[in-house]
Amino acid sequence: MNIFRLTADMTHLMSVIVLLLKIHTIKSCAGISLKTQELYAIVFTCRYLDIFTDFISFYNTIMKVIFLWTSFSIVWYMRYHKIVRRSYDKDQDTFRHVFLMLPCLVLALLINERFTFKEVMWTFSFYLEAVAILPQLVLLQRTRNIDNLTGQYIFLLGAYRALYILNWIYRYVTEPNYVHWIPWMSGLVQTLLYGDFFYYYFLSWKNNVKLQLPA
Amino acid sequence: VKHDFVKDEL
């Protein structure tokens, strides 16, 4: 475990905490895409199929449990919590899951490291994670008022993947035989998708004004 | 080269 990887995981954890904070304290999920949250729940389910079969470390297992548990709770809150669900912008959040999931599944069936169920699901999870933010970014562009917690949530989520890239570079340099194209390429695509958002986030931070994306 | 990679990342 290197510092980039640890910081990345902690940033990911913080993004989830920020979102849960918004849901728990403000009882609001305004500006948050349920589609993206559902895709994340699918991503972690498909990726962590090895949770009961391969023990890596206590840290690894605990983090997997946390990401699975929190992703499903967020979906539950947004769908079923009697107060939280009222703030969900259903009419604005119109992205269809199938348009993202189907191409990712086809790609995972075609390009994978081994053609087994677990391996294809693991690969699928990376392809899907790369694009899972798209419904959220579309919603963000449609929502004129982006509150601070939503902005911070998306910033932390983007930062988490950017830090993973530094981790991969570090591991490639320091560990022999560390080559892993599928997470690398999908991680790179994912980080690039945040590029535009990062630009406006830093602009609003620098000028100390409220974050707004151009229409 | 095929690596039997330990999936230790999240």
Q: Give A78-116 pLDDT, tens digit per residue.
A: 999 999 999 999 999 999 999 999 999 999 999 999 999
Per the structure block, which two tokens stand in for A159? Answer: 């930062």
Work out the pLDDT band at B5, boundaries 50, 70, 90: low
Is B10's CB within 8 Å of A57's CB?
no
Cα of B8 to nearest chain A Cα, Å: 6
CB contact under 8 A, B3 and A12: no
Interchain proximity B9–A183, CB inside 8 Å: yes
| Rounded mean pLDDT, A154-168 | 96
pLDDT at A91 (0 to 100): 95
- What value does the mean pLDDT take over residues B1-10? 70
Residue ranges of chain A whose CB lies within 8 Å of a chain B CB:
5, 9, 12, 50, 54, 56-57, 60, 63-64, 67, 113, 122, 164, 167, 177, 179-180, 183
| A60·B1 Cβ contact <8 A | no
The CA R_g of chain B, rounded to the nearest whole Å, is 8
Residues of chain A with C-beta less than 8 angstroms from the C-beta of B4: none
| Chain A interface includes B4 (CB < 8 A) | no
- The average pLDDT across A26-40 equals 97
- Domain ranges in chain A are 3-204
Phi/psi region, residue B6 (left: phi>0; alpha: psi -120 to 50; beta: rest), is: beta
pLDDT-derived band of residue A145, with 50, 70 and 90 as boundaries?
A: confident
What is the per-residue pLDDT across A11-24, written as a single tens digit (0 to 9) for each?
999 999 999 999 99
Could you report the predicted ipTM of this complex, rounded to two decimals? Answer: 0.84
Per-residue pLDDT tens over the stretch A65-79: 999 999 999 999 999
A191 and A158 Cβ atoms separated by less than 8 Å: yes
Tens digit of pLDDT for each residue in A168-183? 999 999 998 899 999 9
Neighbours of B5 (CB within 10 A): 13
Residue found by looking up tokens 């609003």 in the block: A204
